[in-house]
Structure 1
Amino acid sequence: GNASGPLDLTFDGDDNTQWALFLVKSSALNTHQVEKIPLDPVTQSAMVEIPDLASWYTVAMVAVNLSEFGGAASYTYSLTAPSPYAVSSTVLTDTLVYSGATRQFAYQVTNPSTVGDVYDVYGWDDSGWVATDTTDIFLSPGESKIVYIPVTPPVGTPLGDRSDLHFRADSRSDSLVFDEQVTYAVTVVQHGDVNLDGAVDVADLTALISHLFVDFAPLTVPEAGNVNCVGTVDVADLTGLIDWLFVNFTPSPCNPF
């Protein structure tokens, strides 16, 4: 025939009748290959894929009523051409984020099909942490690409807050082809972010100096001032923050990212 790719055949015979089902594949006018299709003994049904339909001259289905003394019986069948398009995806980033800071979540999209396609890639969540932009990418057969989707809990988001994240890739060629992954993000302490604005900068140095030497006001999140991750907040943490900002630029060793 003129169709290309595989074809899915579904057969459903009357349950009270015994059936036999055959596929007759012809490569030429008088050259045939007969294949018996096993049926479910209870439902008298079957699903079978006919691969590479275009490689055959003709393909015929033959249904035989084997009930010797039964009357006429009915059956139904359908033919479906599967979409040649496909997509799969996975989230590569862990679940940790900082309040007030943006983290780029790596979302890998793969085209497992045999044809190239363009995909619309986007994300969302119920808390408004995920940017709503859509990125379109072209993938050749078998190709993968990583799309980075920014996730930003607002400044002031309490530690331990969680938001479920949805990342999705839609085929532009077939609206029924998509893949969605669900993960979550949870806010954790960023050591060094003393004022909890999402960034580690001079304002945090000023806040730590004030805490240690000026007004001695307690830190909202004491662990944020524990830059060296040892004991309580003290001068060693101040030294570590100065090194981070101005000397060796090495961040706190206990920050997860």
Structure 2
Amino acid sequence: DSANADFTSWNYITGSRDDGLHYEEASSYPEISIAATYSTYPVSIQNSATNISGYGDSYITFYPGSEIGKLRVTFNGSDSREWKAYVIKSSGINTHDIEYIDLSPVSYNGEIIIENFESYNSVTLAGVNVSEFSAGVLFTYSANIILPYEVSSKILTEDSSVYSGSSKIFDIQVNNTAIIGDIFRVIYWDDQGWLPIDTVNFALNSGDSTIVSINVSPPQGTSLSGVSELQFKTESWGDTSVYVIDTMYAVIALQRGDVDFSGSIDIADIVSFVNYSFGGGDSPQPIVLAADFDCNGLVNISDLVALVDYSFNSGPYCECNPY
């Protein structure tokens, strides 16, 4: 059966199509006839031009014309027969590459994707009935173009630390690496609820890029051991099978100066610090070092002075805070 299918493919490469690699005198052999040709797409499901009897075959040729992208070819042989199917990819009149289509052993249907269809002169589908001496039956086929959508992305934010009760922007750069324009969708979520499950949509011309800024907001009171896996999925509207997913782990960091663990540094932190230092108030939260604003490893009056200076006199920010 396979030998007969191979024989069928050789029959195509004769006459002006001879590549010098098959029949010794192939250039002098007559060319087989092509049952149907196409240069516009999609090609809806079609029957073979004739019934294909045992060891018979039929050829259908697809020309790229002005199309770019991938060519998807489907084949479905009658279940009452055994079939082989293959494509002959011709990059020139005398240059051919033969590739078999993987068919179901029960229903004899399958498909093949031809990358960069525009780079070929033609692609020819051949269907072969390999049930010897069998009466003729039909097969069906179809073809469509899958446009060459592409996308790449990366997280630009390098520091993954976040503060409990605060928000931090994470930037994702999206690049349209395709040769055609497209609309993209960025979907984002996480496993701790620090990100709203949401989407951002935008259009990009070929070769263009944009930056998407997304707020990560751990709830107030999230412990210093808190970690959340952030997921950013960028997908093509033109072809939703084209997408990339970027992952980053956001980690709760200590924000020195946020004495009351509210997520921000403000007058309430100074009040809490004074109450703790001079009035027997509650300890800084979540740990005492939240009040170590001058980063010397101790909590004392110099931290309060530094915090007041920062809050009211545009003094320096705590240098050991991650951001």
Fold shared, TM-score > 0.5 on shorter chain: yes
Mapped to 2, the partners of 1:127 and 1:24 lie a distance apart of: 51
- Structure 1 residue aligned with 2:218, among 130, 153, 171? 153
CA gap 1:10/1:189 in 2 versus in 1, 3 angstroms: same
TM-score normalized with structure 1 length: 0.77
Report if aligned partners of 1:195, 1:204 keep a CA contact under 8 Å in 2: yes
The residue type equivalent to 2:301 in the other structure is: V
Determine the structure 2 residue equivalent to 1:15: none
CA gap 1:124/1:255 in 2 versus in 1, 3 angstroms: same
Determine the structure 1 residue equivalent to 2:154: 90
Determine the structure 1 residue equivalent to 2:309: 243
Pairing of 1:1-257 with structure 2 (within 5 A): 1-2=39-40, 4-5=67-68, 6-7=70-71, 23=88, 25=90, 32-37=93-98, 49=114, 51-53=116-118, 56=121, 58-60=122-124, 81-93=145-157, 94-215=159-280, 217-220=282-285, 221-257=287-323
TM-score normalized with structure 2 length: 0.62
CA gap 1:88/1:253 in 2 versus in 1, 3 angstroms: same
CA gap 1:177/1:51 in 2 versus in 1, 3 angstroms: closer
Q: Secondary structure at the match of 2:271?
A: helix
* Larger gyration radius, structure 1 or structure 2: 2
Q: Secondary structure at the match of 1:134?
A: strand
The unaligned stretches of length 5 or more in structure 1 are 12-18, 40-46, 65-70
Mapped to 2, the partners of 1:37 and 1:202 lie a distance apart of: 76
Q: Shift of residue 60 of structure 1?
A: 2.6
Mapped to 1, the partners of 2:303 and 2:271 lie a distance apart of: 13
Report if aligned partners of 2:272, 2:281 keep a CA contact under 8 Å in 1: no
What value does the CA root-mean-square deviation take over the aligned residues?
3.7
The residue type equivalent to 1:185 in the other structure is: A
| Alignment deviations for residues 80-113 of structure 1 (CA, whole Å, 9 cap, x no partner) | 7444212222222232110000011111111111
| Alignment deviations for residues 165-184 of structure 1 (CA, whole Å, 9 cap, x no partner) | 11112322223222222222
The residue type equivalent to 1:86 in the other structure is: E
Flag as ranges the 4+ runs of structure 1 deviating above 6 A.
8-11, 77-80
CA gap 1:238/1:116 in 2 versus in 1, 3 angstroms: same
Report if aligned partners of 1:122, 1:149 keep a CA contact under 8 Å in 2: no
Report if aligned partners of 1:24, 1:33 keep a CA contact under 8 Å in 2: no
Mapped to 1, the partners of 2:247 and 2:255 lie a distance apart of: 25
Mapped to 2, the partners of 1:101 and 1:225 lie a distance apart of: 17
Report if aligned partners of 1:23, 1:34 keep a CA contact under 8 Å in 2: no
Number of residue pairs matched by the alignment? 242
Mapped to 1, the partners of 2:90 and 2:303 lie a distance apart of: 78
Identity rate of aligned residues, in percent? Answer: 34
Determine the structure 2 residue equivalent to 1:14: none
CA gap 1:50/1:204 in 2 versus in 1, 3 angstroms: closer
The unaligned stretches of length 5 or more in structure 2 are 1-38, 42-66, 76-83, 101-111, 134-140
Mapped to 2, the partners of 1:151 and 1:217 lie a distance apart of: 29
Q: Shift of residue 49 of structure 1?
A: 4.2
The residue type equivalent to 2:268 in the other structure is: A
CA gap 1:38/1:137 in 2 versus in 1, 3 angstroms: closer
CA gap 1:37/1:122 in 2 versus in 1, 3 angstroms: same
Report if aligned partners of 1:7, 1:53 keep a CA contact under 8 Å in 2: no
Report if aligned partners of 2:153, 2:244 keep a CA contact under 8 Å in 1: yes
